[in-house]
Structure 1
Amino acid sequence: MSAVTAFHFAPASALACKARLRTCITPRRRSKQPLPSIPSSNFPLPCRGFLRGRKFGSLVSGSCGDDGGGILGPSPPSVQDHDVGDAKDESSGLGDAYLGYFVRMLGLDNDPLDREQAVVTLWKYSLGGKKQVDAIMQFQGCLNLVVNLLKSNSNSASEAAAGLLRSVSSINIYRRSVADSGAIEAITTLLGLPSLTPEVKEQCLCTLWNLSVEEDLRLRIATIETLPLVISSLDDEDLKVKESAGGLLATLALSESNHEILVELCIIPKLAAALLTSDEEGSKIVKKEAKNVLLELAKNDYYRILIIEEGLLPVPMVGTDAYKSFEPSLYSWPSLPDGTEIEQTSKGPSRFGASELLLGLNVNDDSLKIEEAKQNAIIGRTRQQFLARIGAIELDQEEKSSTVTPLQKRLTLLPFLDGVARLVLILGLEDESAVIKAAESMADASINEDMRTSFKEAGAIKKLIHLLYSENDAVIKAAIRALERLSLSSSIALAMEAEDVVHPLTNILTKKNMSDSILDQIMSILSRILDPSKEMKSKFYDGPVHGTSRSLEAPRSSCTSNGPEGTTSASPDRIRGMLDSSIICPLVEILKSESPNLQRKAASILEFAALTSSIVDAAILDDMESGLQAIFHQKILTESDDIEGERPEKYMLEVEEAGLAISSGCRLLTKLLDSEEFCNKINPAHFTSVLREILKSDIPVNHKDWVAACLIKLYSLSSSKGGFNDPINTEVTLYETIPRLVETMKTSSSPEAQEGAAVELNRIISEGVVNSTRAVAAEGGIFPLVNLLGEGNERTADAALSILYNLSMDSENHAAIIAAGAVPVLRRIVLSQRPQWTRALRLLWTLPV
């Protein structure tokens, strides 16, 4: 039974649409109720075969309606197909009765083919715009029937159902209705099917993309079940699927709460690889969405490090106007980016400028080798300077959407080679706000040795030091922060020293009203450059380095070799000349501060200054004694009871910092005691009393060595003057030597070190040092001694057995010796009649076994 189709005169657009589609939908004979006659002038009904094709499957409804399409970031393209335009014009006259019939045909009791035809027709109808979607949404329960069709065995029905959900979800007021209908869960199940076609997958991902505009819906989408399926879609062969997945991830990344799960699913390496592919191999849309995701993740310090480790560098966008001040040197003899001058092989001018073009390199010299870092610096500098000269350095990043985000907060991602050169280029511009952004980005990017070396080879050191002379405090702060991060590398610290960074830093240090963070960064840079251990090594070594003779005490020019090949160091005499009383006074004041970290660095720099007699004279000030007393009186050592019980982790950290500061102060005091004038100004008895208390405190054992050394030197000076006669060696032995030897037996992996510690400990106990056995037991030395007794060589076993026997004289140690497993070890020694078996037997008799 078939229905007769009534034809009426229709507008030209309707006739054209009908001529293209050629046929109308007719009911299946298997359906229980025939389809009604629908005037072609009111609704263009396409044939089933045409709708199943890819043409309508690729149509999207991203921005239809008055209040629709509010997608953050790049949204799916709006509908522009010619057929859809005709449908929008003609479908306005469709009666509600006919539309309701197609909605009813979605019911579960209808024939699957009719349900498929109905959902395809409704999808086609929804592409007309918001008015058509409003008409569909008047029927309650329609979305639930559409969601049920997602799992249809027909790919055409699944694609149409997902497409219809995509059209509805593009309207703001209907997004929550789509989510409440179970679309998110159904799409997640659908995406997990291995046989899913690219057309269906694209519509599903775009539906989730539309829903993710709402922040609360992002949390429902970004689950451990859905996200892996979306991320795996980035590897799909279909380009539309990749782009849809990238757009969905970019929107999900707008919520900071989703960042953790995205990183845990290893999204950063995948997106970085997509961004680093060549333009010929990758999609521009996928790259754009990948950059949006990574830039959102880069707001977190830890995630930014992960992005940098994948080969991408966050670079600030400063605007094309900032680059107008760039003036490349076109007629000077070229040099490497770090300022190293290239030897001019041709004295006369080149006829065609070939000498300048080839950078003056002597290609005939086989010994000439340029490191990879220098080559990358040259290539990066050439690229970025070329883009700056033609005014196209940021044109590819500036888009219409950039007006949403202020220029001050915008970033882009560049590969290392271009990113490093771009940051160094910005440092030389006149725009101070751009310079500040570049310096801060450089500090954030200096996460490892390779990155710091890249900045050094690109010429960042000279430009940052030049910024220290700026009159803008913000510029100075940004430059100091970048230099502090770069100075973590010892080779770069030498390069800074050669570039005379000490002079501007000491000038800044004398200024008042300086923030604690800037003061700490300046002190960090100076303490790494003015390292007393480096200076002491230079006094005892004067051997050849790379085939050349080096001596720090020999007369040199402003820059001399010191360290790796090609690294220069400033003259020590010039550095010492800067450390006069004007800088010594602020350092002594820092000693009186309450920060153990600042105290440690100040004491280290003062120790470096005290290595020469001229500086010692300047360092002997009236308040030097009060500065040393302040560093030895750490609050954590007097207030330990309250903090240790409530926050043990914080207590251990603060005790560690206090130990470092005290150890540095003891080194400084030990050095200053070489000066007779200084010794006459201080009270050795007072310092001895203070250090004796510190020796008994809870600071780590490895920080007590300088305390013990300083105590012994103070006692020797006091004894020579006929002062007090308190024995210091005993306390040093009990609180420094014995704990250090026990720690060596516990933690050292070297049998020789363990043997030496056991022999030394046996010597101390055999000499009858008072309370030495109690000190060994209190430090937990019984267990490592039993281990050495069973596993060590004969010499180690002899020493361990002697110590254990002395410990057994105190009955309080019996339980610990037995618990450590000494009895079976002693029995084996006796039964095997090893050389120590008689003493082992004597120890067994002593123990209550």
Structure 2
Amino acid sequence: MFASTILTPSTLKVSQFVGHIPKPHLGTLPNGSRKSPRSRVAVFSRVVHRQNRSFSPISHTKPAVVARVSSGGDTSADYTAQQSSPPDIEDVTSSSPGIGEGYVALFARMLGLDHEPPDREQAIITLWKYSLGGKKCSDAIMQFPSCINLTVNLLRSDSSSACEAAAGLLRSLSSVNLYRNSVADSGAIEEINGLLRRPSLAPEVKEQSMSALWNLSVDEKIRVKLANEDIILLIIKYLDDEDIKVKEAAGGVLANLALSHVNHKMMVELGVIPKLARFLSSDAEGSTITRKEARNALLELVKDEYYRILVIEEGLVPVPLVGSAAFKSLSPGLHAWPTLPDGTELERTSKEPSRFGASELLLGLNIDEKNANIEESKINAIIGRTQQKFLARIGAIEVEGQKIPDSECSNNQGITLLPWMDGVARLVLILELENKSAISRAAESIADASINEDMRIAFKEAGAIKHLVRLLNHNDDAVRLAVTRALERLSISHVICQSIEAEGVLGPLVDIVNHSQISENVVEKSLHILARILDPSKEMILKFYDGSVNGSKKTLNGAKDNAVPVGLIGTKQAISKGINSSGRNDVLDSTFIARIVEILKFSSSSLQAKAASVLEFVILTDPTMVSLISVNIESGLDAVFQQKILRSSDEESDLDYLPPEKYAIAVEEAGLAISATSRLMTKLLDSEQFRQTINLPHFTGLLRQILKSNIPLHSKDWIAACLIKLTSFSGYNLDFDPINVEVTLYETIPRLIEQIKFSFSPETQEAAVVELNRIIYEGVVDSTRAIASKGAIYPLVKLIEEGSGRAVEASLAILYNLSMDSENHSAILAAGAVPALRRIVLSQRPQWERALHLLRSLPT
């Protein structure tokens, strides 16, 4: 071909390329005259238009061929025609000798800045149409690399047709892996960004421009250029465009950007999750491509635990894809008496069979609508279960999106996103399958999705609890771990806790704890569930919320009262019966108690805290404490109070080499375990038999040492209470007992200072500062030093400016006592006490005399 002898374009600059292209052979007309360049341009343009029209051409107004990117390889693009596939470009060139690649140079030259805008427009339109013929056409155009720069320049044109053609050509070239970097390096991204920001833009221009960005975003390195706050905001804006093709392209760009984890934070902060989630809602409008790309983007984001929560909050639930073959094990249950998904039965209002034989067909449909009172959550559960079982029955439950081969369903880790009503029902349906991998993945998804009370109630109404409790007896460790994790997350709700206990969960949990061969993770989560169910403090909370408040019934967490609707049986009665006849007696078994004491002695801090809580329930149930004393509970208490984290600084410990954040977590967990154990011991001290079996001075010394340690202040409450109770049985005079002083210095004073610092209630601050002043007035040794070391000076100075009269008076008295030590002068001055005191004196406030005394004691 002629183009092969024109030049070697790879080394040309734009100016050289425009000015030094040899003139092509023009040919002659039938009358012997030579054709002008412009006439040959028109001929080639018409030929390209005619040839492309034979395979559904892309016109400059509404293109019909969509260039789609092939993610693999670097040789060709994947072109998908909407109507029919285009013929090979060789057919065009071979059928018209002298017309084809040789004219690419001519049109490339016409893109030059030395040509008139109409000529440049005609050239870019023709080259765009020519590029749609396939990779060979793109190769011909890319023989002249400067074409890309001239094309990018045309994106600034005032002509809509020129902008559309320029963007369309860039779209075609960027669909070829080999040329994608060249397009990106030419500044196309920046120019397209500017083009898309024009106030009025034709839909065709927006489509081609956004599709070009879609193609470019396939390359991971180019995504770095696209990961710009302004560009992402622009793409998000075009998700609301009226043109469906523009929406599809915008969703595709975001889906590709989400493939790079470094882009997630920026995308989420710019609000991409709510925008994409609306395309997947049950009543969403949009094309299949838009929904697919939105799902792909969100599926990348849900890999992060925090972003998964944000996606679930938008009403979408991650659901594992387990393969259609796994659902074949479902039994239809066509002749069973109908029940709600949570197991609530429908009342049999008629025991006589229908004379027309319709009693089985219309089973359960004879509820009086006027008397039936079914909550909305139950209705949603019925709808969701019905839809998912129907899809499973016809074999269409996983046809949307990717299909998983039956042979790989057990190993595939794919997930999809469903609206919450369908997602909850699908997860519960998977729990009924026989595939172990599917069950464990569904239980994990239930645990991840239980982020708030609404989701936990939805799973309860959908019947998840009965299946999870049943699966506690499964023989697979992975299934048990996933199931206990799901029950642990669901049990956060006190209302759900009642339902879990009503399903008979205590027996299986006790069996799990008793088996020492089971993994520690399963035992820990089982103990956590037991501790929540048996929490003694929860009993009082439930009694309060079950009572009448201003003549109305209220329940915990704002849940509705479990009144039984007419036509339904087994709701509140089943829960009450289940709790009363539950396996709480199993908790009092001596084997189980011995196992809990063993956990108290040898397990981690988190397990020790839960074990202590369970043993506290045993004490309240069995006040004689015979079973606890017989299993040597003293050794368990001693083990908790002598943890490595509590060793003094001169003793070397493995925990000293932990990073600061891990060390802080270890101290926090140790504090919780010690607090729970101190609470347990406080109640054990009520038993005279227990007091006679333990070494009171030994435990007094341990608790005094712990009280001085750096565990969190909120963990020291029960330590102080236990210490005071120990001294009451030791025969000491509490007024002169050094233990009482230590409790004041290490627990009471820090707690009062925290109330002054952080409380938003003026009454609480006033009470705290008055109590602090009383401690100093009573002459507790080292009380002023403890107050100063805990950082009380700054909040006290702030209080004399903003507090009530009584709080101001107490604060001035404390600051005066602190000023007696010259070491505190600099801190008092730095806190701004002098100006505040002068204002009090000059304004003749009731406390002006105290303020004056304090001013005189300071070096002002």
Q: Which residue of structure 2 lines up, in the alignment, with residue 664 of structure 1?
A: 676
CA distance in 1, matches of 2:430, 2:595: 34
Query: 2:271 is aligned with what amino acid?
Result: C
Equivalent residue runs for 1:338-353 within 5 Å: 338-350=342-354, 351=356, 353=358
Q: Report whether the alignment pairs 1:458 with 2:467.
A: no
- Does the 8 Å contact 2:837/2:851 carry over to 1? yes
After superposition, residues 389-788 of structure 1 pair within 5 angstroms as 389-398=393-402, 408-535=412-539, 568=576, 570-571=579-580, 574-593=583-602, 595-613=604-622, 616-621=625-630, 623-638=632-647, 649-719=661-731, 727-788=738-799
- Aligned equivalents of 2:185, 2:106: Cα separation in 1: 24
Please state how far the C-alpha of 1:390 moved relative to its aligned partner: 2.4
Residue correspondence of structure 1 range 64-463 to structure 2 within 5 A: 77-78=80-81, 81=84, 84-85=86-87, 89-92=91-94, 94-95=97-98, 96-276=101-281, 278=283, 281-350=285-354, 351=356, 353=358, 357=362, 359=364, 362-363=367-368, 366=371, 368-398=372-402, 408-463=412-467
Asked if the contact 2:488/2:529 (under 8 Å) is kept, the reply is yes
Give the counterpart letter for 2:694 in structure 1: I
Q: CA deviation at 1:244?
A: 2.4
Single out whichever of 378-387 and 645-654 deviates more from structure 2: 645-654
Q: Provide, for residues 300-321 of structure 1, a one-character-per-residue CA deviation record: whole Å limited to 9, x for no partner.
A: 2222211111111111121221
- Name the SS for the 1:289 alignment partner: helix
Q: Secondary structure at the match of 2:417?
A: strand
User: Is 1:253–1:297's contact at 8 Å kept on the other side of the alignment?
Assistant: yes
SS of aligned partner of 1:314: strand
Aligned to 2:563: none
In structure 1, C-alpha distance between the alignment counterparts of 2:804 and 2:216, rounded to whole Å: 72
**What SS does the corresponding residue of 1:85 show, helix, strand or coil?**
coil
Say if 1:580 and 1:615, in contact at 8 Å, map to a contact too: no
Deviates more, 1:225-234 or 1:828-837: 828-837
Is the contact made by 1:527 and 1:605 (CA closer than 8 Å) also made in structure 2?
yes
Matched residues in 2 for 1:792 and 1:37: separation? 88
**Matched residue SS, 1:492:** helix
Alpha carbons of 1:307 and 1:94: their partners in 2 closer, same or farther (altered >3 Å)? farther
2:506–2:530 contact (8 Å) kept in structure 1: yes
The 8 Å contact of residues 336 and 374 in structure 1, kept in 2 or not, is answered as yes
2:307 and 2:662 map into 1 onto residues whose CA distance is 26
Q: CA contact under 8 A between 1:234 and 1:245: conserved in structure 2?
A: yes
- 8 Å contact kept, 1:79–1:127: no
Q: 1:47 to 1:113 in 2, by over 3 A?
A: farther
The residue identity in structure 2 corresponding to 1:62 is R
**TM-score normalised according to structure 2 size:** 0.84
Deviation of 1:785 after TM superposition, in Å, equals 4.1
CA gap of 1:751–1:227, structure 2 versus 1, over 3 A, is closer
Q: For residue 729 of structure 2, give the secondary structure of its aligned residue in structure 1.
A: helix
What's the offset of the Cα at 1:694? Answer: 1.4
Larger mean CA deviation between 329-338 and 40-49 belongs to 40-49
Q: Counterparts of 1:754 and 1:776 in 2: how far apart (Å)? A: 15
Is this contact kept in 2: 1:62–1:69, CA < 8 A? no
- Report what 2:9 is aligned to: none
Counterpart position of 2:559: none
Alignment length (residue pairs): 809
Change (3 A) 1:67 1:46: farther
Match of 1:30 in 2: none
1:112-163 deviations in Å (ceiling 9; x for gaps): 3222222322222222222233233333423333333333333223322332
Aligned to 1:110, the other structure's residue is in SS state coil
Q: Structure 1 residues 401 and 262 mapped into 2: Cα distance closer, same or farther (>3 Å)? A: farther
Indicate how the Cα distance of structure 1 residues 614 and 356 shifts in structure 2: closer, same or farther if over 3 A, else same: farther
Q: Deviations over 1:566-589 (max 9, x none)?
A: 954613884143332222223222
| Residue type of the alignment partner of 1:151 | R
Amino acid at match of 1:581: S
Cα distance in 2 for residues equivalent to 1:42 and 1:596: 82
Q: Which residue of 1 aligns with 2:7?
A: none
Contact map agreement 2:431 2:442 (CA 8 A) in 1: yes
8 A contact 2:57–2:64 mirrored in 1: no
Shift of 1:830: 6.0
CA shift in 2, pair 1:397/1:102, >3 Å: closer
Matched residue type, 1:776: I
Q: Point out where structure 1 has 5 or more consecutive residues left out of the alignment.
A: 9-25, 28-32, 551-560
Look up the equivalent residue of 2:505 and give its one-letter code.
V
Contact 2:840/2:847 (8 A) holds in 1:
yes
Partner Cα separation in structure 2 for residue 638 and residue 57 of structure 1: 76
Q: 8 Å contact 1:628–1:665 — kept in the other structure?
A: yes
Question: Which amino acid letter does the alignment assign opposite residue 169 of structure 2?
Answer: L
Task: State the Cα distance separating 1:457 from its structure 2 match.
Answer: 0.8
422-431 or 141-150, which deviates more: 141-150
Contact 1:751 1:792 survives alignment (8 Å): yes
Specify the SS of the correspondent of 1:408: coil
Change (3 A) 1:111 1:617: same
- Residues 1:60 and 2:66 are matched in the alignment: yes
* Residues 144-185 of structure 1, C-alpha deviations (whole Å, 9 max, x = no match): 333333333332233223323333333332222333333333
Q: 1:428 to 1:847 in 2, by over 3 A?
A: same
TM-superposed deviation, 1:102 = 2.6
What amino acid is aligned across from residue 435 of structure 1 in structure 2? I
Q: How far did 1:449 drift?
A: 1.0
Residue 52 of structure 2 contacts residue 129 of structure 2 at CA under 8 Å; is this kept in 1? no
Distance change (3 Å), C-alpha of 1:7 and 1:442: farther
CA contact (8 A) 1:673 1:679 kept: yes
Aligned to 1:18: none
Alpha-carbon shift at residue 710 of structure 1 (Å): 0.9
1:796–1:202 CA distance, 2 compared to 1 (3 A): closer
1:139 is paired with a residue of what secondary structure?
Answer: coil
* Residues in 2 aligned to 1:746 and 1:188: alpha-carbon distance in whole angstroms: 51
Shift of the 680–148 alpha-carbon distance from structure 1 to 2, 3 Å rule, reads same
What is the distance in 2 between the residues matched to 1:813 and 1:648? 30
| Separation (CA, whole Å) in 2 of partners of 1:392 and 1:543 | 48
| Alpha-carbon distance in 1 for matches of 2:446, 2:433 | 15
Q: Considering only aligned residues, what root-mean-square deviation do their CA atoms show, in Å? A: 4.1
SS at match of 2:125: helix
Determine the structure 2 residue equivalent to 1:19: none
**Structure 1 pair 704–356 and aligned structure 2 pair: CA distance change class (3 A):** farther
Match of 1:554 in 2: none
Distance 1:192 1:58, change over 3 A: farther
Point out the more displaced range, 504-513 or 164-173.
Answer: 164-173
